[in-house]
Structure 1
Amino acid sequence: MTYIEGFVCAVPNANKEAYRKHATDAAPLFKEFGVTRMVENWGDDVPKGKVTDFQGAVQAKDDETVVFSWFEYPDRATRDAANEKIMNDPRMKDMGANMPFDGTRMIYGGFESFVDEKASGTTGYTDGYLLPVPEGKRDAYRAMAQDMAAKFKDMGALRVVEAWGDDVPEGKVTDYKRAVKAEDGEGIVYSYVEWPDKDTRDAAWAKMMSNTSMQNQEMPFDGKRMFWGGFRPIIDTAAE
């Protein structure tokens, strides 16, 4: 299964192009280090929640947009080796000194995928999710997520990934655990659904919201602390 390094950060709206250039310039280095795919998604339909949301996760300001991004690796060993190179390569240190966003509020971590359903096509829109799941309900969540992945694909999704946090560090300012208000004994799930375009995604969500059996499905986690949003890809090395 694919190993995911997931990131969420807040970028000033005025720095969108600077952020895109910064990430584009770094992409060849990440590929050299072992990243098989790099995706950067700019917030487009990111609702605010009552308990948790993407804005709160990274303490986004009114003039900032949430970015949801990830690296894909063939396995954790490749990812760990890549992180070692990233930390020690002088080229990365130079780039890190000129980031067009506040890196202290970025959250990141390593996630092992346990659902990865693919279809053919080019991604034009992404739904991103973060949620806490009790360790004891991991298998129940996986079964539910596998079933949902099939439904998403039937409605036009190109890929559904569900990944369980196995290297999720605590941060000084922000981190994944605080983002979803994780309690003792809970793990973090990082998930994304790729769509060909926003229209296909919106139509799928309309069908799901009108399906009473899906609405009444018992969930093996606290849905009040799950949050999600729609994002437009600004960099996707798989499309190059």
Structure 2
Amino acid sequence: MTYVEGFLLAVPTARKDAYRDHAAAAAPMLKEFGVVRMVETWGDDVPRGERNDLWGAVQAGEEETVVFSWFEYPDRRARDAAGERMMNDPRMESIIANAPFDATRMVWGGFESVSDVGRPGGAGYVDGVVLPLRADARAAYGVFCERVGPVFLEHGAVRVMDAVANDVQDGAVTDFNRAVLREEGEVVAFGWVEWPDKAARDVGWEKVMADPRMSGEDAPFDGKRMIFGGFVPLIDT
């Protein structure tokens, strides 16, 4: 199954072009290290939540935009090998030193896919989601996602990916666990829906929400702590 390294960042809105250039410059090197696909998306429709949200996950200020991004690998072994190469390659020092964002607030972690339906690549709009999941409900979550994923495809989505953490650590300032207010006995899930464009996403979501198969009654997670948003792709290798 595909292994995902997921990221959340707060980037100064005025530095959008600088961030795109930064990511584009890093892409060839990451491909060399073993990243199969790298996607960087810029916050476009990121709502504020009552308890938690993507803004709070990265402590984003009013002059900042939330970025939702991910790397895809064939498996965990490929991801770990890539990480080791990154740590030992001097070229990465320049990439990190010149990052146009506050790296201390970057949220990141490794996730193993439990459901992947549709075809990857070429998305014109992305819905990103992070949520808390009971640790003993991993299998049930996979079954749930395999059931609802095709509903999104029927209503216009091109791909739905759902993954569960197996390498998410506590950070000094921010992390995925704090982002979802993780409680004892829970793990974090990370996923996204790829759409052809924003118009297709808006129409598709209306149909998805009206579909009786999406009641959510059997969802094995706390939807009240789920954080999500709509994003425009900047880089998709």
Question: Normalising by structure 2, what TM-score?
Answer: 0.97
Contact 1:119–1:158 (Cα < 8 Å) also in 2: yes
SS in 2 for 1:81: helix
Match for residue 147 of structure 2? 147
Match for residue 164 of structure 2? 164
| Alpha-carbon distance between aligned partners in 2 of 1:190 and 1:159, rounded to the nearest angstrom | 14
Structure 2 letter corresponding to 1:122 = G
Structure 1 letter corresponding to 2:73 = Y
The runs of 5 or more residues in structure 1 that have no matched partner are: none
Contact 2:152–2:208 (Cα < 8 Å) also in 1: no
Question: Normalising by structure 1, what TM-score?
Answer: 0.95
Match for residue 73 of structure 2? 73
Deviations 1:85-126 (A, max 9, x none): 111211001111111000000000000011011237731000
Structure 1 letter corresponding to 2:236 = D
SS in 1 for 2:32: helix
- Runs of 4+ aligned structure 1 residues displaced above 3 Å come to none
1:209-220 to structure 2, matched below 5 A, reads 209-211=209-211, 214-215=214-215, 217-220=217-220
| Alpha-carbon distance between aligned partners in 1 of 2:120 and 2:178, rounded to the nearest angstrom | 36
Task: Pick closer, same or farther for the CA change 1:216–1:85 going to 2, 3 Å.
Answer: closer
SS in 2 for 1:122: coil
Match for residue 204 of structure 1? 204
SS in 1 for 2:136: helix
C-alpha displacement at 1:212, in angstroms?
Answer: 5.2
SS in 2 for 1:174: coil
Task: Pick closer, same or farther for the CA change 1:4–1:121 going to 2, 3 Å.
Answer: closer
Please give the root-mean-square deviation of Cα atoms over the aligned residues, in Å.
1.3
Aligned residues: 237
| Alpha-carbon distance between aligned partners in 1 of 2:115 and 2:98, rounded to the nearest angstrom | 36
1:41 and 2:66 are equivalent in the alignment: no
| Alpha-carbon distance between aligned partners in 1 of 2:121 and 2:172, rounded to the nearest angstrom | 40
Contact 2:155–2:208 (Cα < 8 Å) also in 1: no
| Alpha-carbon distance between aligned partners in 2 of 1:70 and 1:50, rounded to the nearest angstrom | 26
